Chain A
Amino acid sequence: MMEHDDKDRDPMLAGALREAMGGTRLDEAAEDALARRIVAASAFRLAVLRRARPFTWWEQTARWSRVAGPIGVVAAAAGIALAMLAPTEASADEAPLPLAEAVVSAIPGHDALGALASDTIWTVAGTAGVSR
């Protein structure tokens, strides 16, 4: 460290220099105007930086969520519709429906026909060798 430091200040020299060279203070309004001028002159460069920067993970998520939301809703609706339209599968413990019974049950309003119609069919089916 050198021996001369800030305590070496000379008030007379300082005063004379100030008078000769002038002060440097900007008033608040001038300072504000200069700051605004600098920021305005840099606006284009800042805009370029905004466009060039990589997206952060939360921005990526937000962008995808805008698309993923509607897609999810549509997919869910389609899934529900398919589930409702698809034929019900027999459960594992249920015996497979015999052919004759399937034929009977396929007749519209077979319940209303009553036992008569049903027995007749079974009789015909029995002659064909089909048992209940």
Chain B
Amino acid sequence: MTPADAGESDAVLVARIRAGDTGAYDTLVRRHLRGAYTVARRLLGNKEDAEDLVQDAFIQALDRLDRFDASRPFAPWFYRILTNRGLNAKKSIRLRTTAGLHEEMVGGGESPQRAAERGELRDALREAVSTLPERQQTIVQLAEIDGWTSAEIAGALGMADGTVRWHLHEARKALRTVLAPLRPEEGR
């Protein structure tokens, strides 16, 4: 990627992509890849499905580029494609029970009792998250784990900022209720 490419707006890149410019497409993909992957991972829960979803969304966006209004920002339009396809994929994908397991969770050196407690917390939280509406699951993870602001989530999911905040509030309330019995561990 050249510095000139890095400085070009999404609108300019989209115009070049409409003429079949591979370099512009590459730049646009890389610019939005990280955010797209984060949303996809939060929607689907595992790396492989998230990568497939991101690829699928970018290709879908390319197919629909003639319908994109270039006077509007690209990101919300693209994330709407990603989210809609992600929610559809979620219905058809049987998520593996190990989905979301992270390396940091398999840390060694802790006592069996501590490991059991951590396991209990994980299971309780996963269970609690899975009972939330799908949008709330995604929103609370993007906000709490990935550190996205409500405005960023609103842009990515094509929702109003106020709606995102309301979902976030509801999700936090539900998860805190589940966590409450486990709160004594908080002081450690």
Which residues of A come within 8 Å of B, CB atoms? 1-2, 4-6, 8-10, 12-14, 16-24, 26, 31, 34-35, 37-39, 41-43, 45-53
Contact = CB atoms under 8 A, between A and B. Distances in A.
Contact of A10 (B29, B122, B176): B176
Interface of B: 17-22, 25-26, 29-30, 33-34, 37-38, 41-42, 45, 47, 50-51, 54-55, 58-59, 62-63, 100-102, 104-105, 118, 121-122, 125-126, 129, 140-141, 143-146, 149-150, 162, 165-166, 168-169, 172, 175-176, 179, 183, 186
Given A17-B125, A22-B105, A43-B22, A34 B33 contact: yes
Given A6-B149, A21-B102, A23-B145, 8 more contacts: A4-B169, A9-B144, A12-B179, A19-B122, A21-B100, A34-B51, A46-B17, A50-B19
A9 B179 CA distance: 15
B145 A37 contact: no
A53 B15 CA distance: 11
Contacts of A49: 17-20
Nearest to B19: A53
Nearest to B18: A49
Given A2-B169, A10-B144, A22 B19 contact: no
Please list the 10 inter-chain residue pairs (A to B) with the smallest Cβ-Cβ separation, ordered nearest first: A50-B20, A22-B102, A49-B20, A20-B125, A24-B41, A14-B144, A22-B100, A4-B169, A20-B122, A24-B38
